[in-house]
Structure 1
Amino acid sequence: MDEHVSFLASLPPPVKAALTEPRDRAGLIHLAGHAGLILALGTLIALNVPFWGLLLPVQGIVLIFLFTLEHECTHRTPFRTALLNDWVGRVCGVLLLLPFGWFRAFHLAHHRHTNIPGKDPELEAGKPEGPGGWLIHVSGLPVWRANTALILLLAMGRERAPYLADRALPRMESEARIMLGLYGLAGLSLIWSPLLLWVWILPALLGQPFLRLYLLAEHGDCPFVANMFENTRTTFTNRIVRFLAWNMPYHVEHHVYPAVPFHRLPDLHRLMRDRLKVTAAGYTAFTRDYLARRL
């Protein structure tokens, strides 16, 4: 029996029930804070306040970390209401060029086969090797290219993968076509106003490298084994990062018990912290060690 399975079996039923109880209130409050930051920064940029250009990467970081919310929505844990999870996930997907329906299937396959070569779809792109590969990866350009190609393939009905259920493909394809229509309207709006360029497009490009650095710590250089205490990393960081990432730095905790909503992950962490095997003392420390092993 894998260690994460035995840990879950050791939790009393009342503890499990308390940890996994879904709530709309916690998710809505957190969403209001995250979305409020995006709107506030976007307003300051649109008003051309002094030194507004310095706000672009900040807006980008806050915006691009909606990925962690979309990720949580694939599990339908941020909110009690399934429909709310799905629609928040779809909106995030539009902003990030990441179709929510497809990503849900992709991500759940990742959870079923975490860090198992040939089964975990996250491993298909490979991890960056060498300084040059790392720079290209962190630039974010490969992910923008891959996401654009994915949307086009889905829209044309040509995307097939073993983790995509045939019955779900029509919905995914319709979602991709709607996304293309929205992007077309966004592109047309640039003829009359550059607003979306400054509050969305350019910030997203500037913010993507920070998300790449963050995501690389989740499973980078972890063993290719089934035990969630070994194939996943928890990264100790500050409250700001935990807020923007919806507590996903507690990533071992999330993989061991994905049904636990983001706001209860600190509680789950306290229950399992003595069992953690793979951790990092911050994202700077992880990045330094990751590069040191490749130089």
Structure 2
Amino acid sequence: MNDRADVTETQFDFDLGPADVATEAEDRAIPLGEDAGLDRYARVELLKEEREIAARFHGGPMWGYVAAAFGGFALWVALFPLTMFGVVHPLITLAVSTFLTTAGYVTCHEAMHGNIAQRGDKNFWMNKWVGEVSLLPIAVPFSMGRITHLEHHKHCNDPLKDPDYTDEAPNMLAAWYKTWWNRQPRVDGTINRYKTVCEELDTEESRLALKQTLLLQMFYLATLFTMAWSGYAIAAAVCWWLPRQLGLSWIRFFLSWAPHHPREGHTGRYDQAYIFKSKVGHFWSMCMETHLIHHLYPGIPNHRTRQAYFALKPILEKRGVDCSAL
């Protein structure tokens, strides 16, 4: 569905013109002595080479994400009656629903960046619906998810403007704890922080996102209450409530904390995210081991970031990126 190899404005790429060279010089590069002119020239050449390599990994068929999104959503919905009427054991439902809830963020993440179909493509509308069905299990509308995620890219690791900065924690155990704590009422984290960001943006799109979030969360609570009241409390717990809690923790840890820690002061192009080795492997960590590639080139699909990383590794090392983990 998406076969373009260029980088669009929705993917936060930029062209390095004369006015940008000074800004680019603030990023880390290979040490070339005190000759600032030579240093700038080396940076520009490295960036050109980097983009040429990255362009090879943009695009490609994206139907797999569409099938996974709608197929996963259909299976998730089917688990409700199947569990309520005893066809599927609650523990199986819990495991499957938690996986689908977590995996849904991977498919919606591509939709947030317009990777399912590029702007101008006749199937561009598919981004919205892939995003909507993918995020429903965590009771967040696509509008809210997209706005706040793009704000994260624009202001990555800024303590005041990055919506995900509240996930920062000093260590792994503290990070897991915060994935739960940040969801508590009146805590400035996760959905509450997202609402604040939308209120501060105060655009037509952000106001719509706030309304849709309220309606969806009311629907979520009403569904749980109705199922519990009707005698299906266990089914409600294993179909939606527990998978949402577990899925959100997994997403916040691997998508937000692990690739961005430590956050403080790391706002440069090449240190917004890190290359790390996950104990649960690349797949189970949502392919976040090479999340830096996503920040550099959001148009590279999630399943190709690892391949792109190894192709770009020599360039990244010259730019001062710590590539020792992989």
What's the TM-score, normalizing by structure 2?
0.65
2:148 counterpart of 1:106: yes
Q: Corresponding residue for 1:292?
A: none
* AA in 2 matched with 1:183: Y
Q: Select 2:114's aligned residue among 65, 73, 76.
A: 76
Q: CA, structure 1 residues 268+167, in 2 after alignment: closer, same or farther (shift >3 Å)?
A: same
Q: Corresponding residue for 1:160?
A: 199
Shift of 1:262: 2.1
Q: Select 2:266's aligned residue among 202, 225, 229.
A: 225
Q: Corresponding residue for 2:14?
A: none
Larger radius of gyration: 2
2:60 counterpart of 1:9: no
- Partner Cα separation in structure 2 for residue 142 and residue 117 of structure 1: 15
Kept in 2, the 8 Å contact 1:127–1:220? The answer is yes
Kept in 1, the 8 Å contact 2:275–2:323? The answer is yes
Q: CA, structure 1 residues 268+130, in 2 after alignment: closer, same or farther (shift >3 Å)?
A: closer
Shift of 1:77: 1.3
Q: Corresponding residue for 2:243?
A: 203
What's the TM-score, normalizing by structure 1?
0.71
- Partner Cα separation in structure 1 for residue 324 and residue 97 of structure 2: 26
Post-superposition CA distance 1:35-58 (Å, at most 9, x none): 577578778855757975366256
Q: CA, structure 1 residues 26+144, in 2 after alignment: closer, same or farther (shift >3 Å)?
A: farther
Kept in 2, the 8 Å contact 1:62–1:244? The answer is no
- Partner Cα separation in structure 1 for residue 219 and residue 93 of structure 2: 25
* AA in 2 matched with 1:127: E
2:292 counterpart of 1:252: yes
- Partner Cα separation in structure 1 for residue 110 and residue 135 of structure 2: 12
For structure 1, list consecutive stretches of 5 or more residues without a partner in the other structure: 283-295
Q: Which has the higher helix share?
A: 1
Identity, % of aligned positions: 19
- Partner Cα separation in structure 2 for residue 133 and residue 79 of structure 1: 38
Moved more, 39-48 or 114-123: 39-48
Q: CA, structure 1 residues 181+51, in 2 after alignment: closer, same or farther (shift >3 Å)?
A: closer
Post-superposition CA distance 1:27-74 (Å, at most 9, x none): 234446755775787788557579753662564244234233333321
Moved more, 36-45 or 20-29: 36-45
- Partner Cα separation in structure 1 for residue 88 and residue 216 of structure 2: 34
Kept in 2, the 8 Å contact 1:110–1:120? The answer is yes
Q: How many residues matched?
A: 272
Kept in 2, the 8 Å contact 1:219–1:231? The answer is yes
Kept in 2, the 8 Å contact 1:57–1:207? The answer is no
Q: Select 1:242's aligned residue among 280, 283, 307.
A: 283
Q: Select 1:87's aligned residue among 120, 129, 132.
A: 129
* AA in 2 matched with 1:25: W
Secondary structure at the aligned position of 1:218 is classed as coil
Kept in 2, the 8 Å contact 1:8–1:257? The answer is no
* AA in 2 matched with 1:109: E
2:250 counterpart of 1:213: no
Q: CA, structure 1 residues 106+131, in 2 after alignment: closer, same or farther (shift >3 Å)?
A: closer
> What is the root-mean-square deviation of aligned Cα atoms in Å?
4.0
- Partner Cα separation in structure 2 for residue 272 and residue 34 of structure 1: 33
- Partner Cα separation in structure 2 for residue 213 and residue 147 of structure 1: 12
Secondary structure at the aligned position of 1:235 is classed as coil
- Partner Cα separation in structure 2 for residue 128 and residue 84 of structure 1: 36
Kept in 2, the 8 Å contact 1:61–1:206? The answer is no
- Partner Cα separation in structure 1 for residue 229 and residue 142 of structure 2: 28
Shift of 1:266: 3.1
- Partner Cα separation in structure 2 for residue 25 and residue 183 of structure 1: 29
Shift of 1:198: 2.0
For structure 2, list consecutive stretches of 5 or more residues without a partner in the other structure: 1-23, 30-42
2:94 counterpart of 1:56: yes
- Partner Cα separation in structure 2 for residue 127 and residue 196 of structure 1: 31
Q: CA, structure 1 residues 3+144, in 2 after alignment: closer, same or farther (shift >3 Å)?
A: same
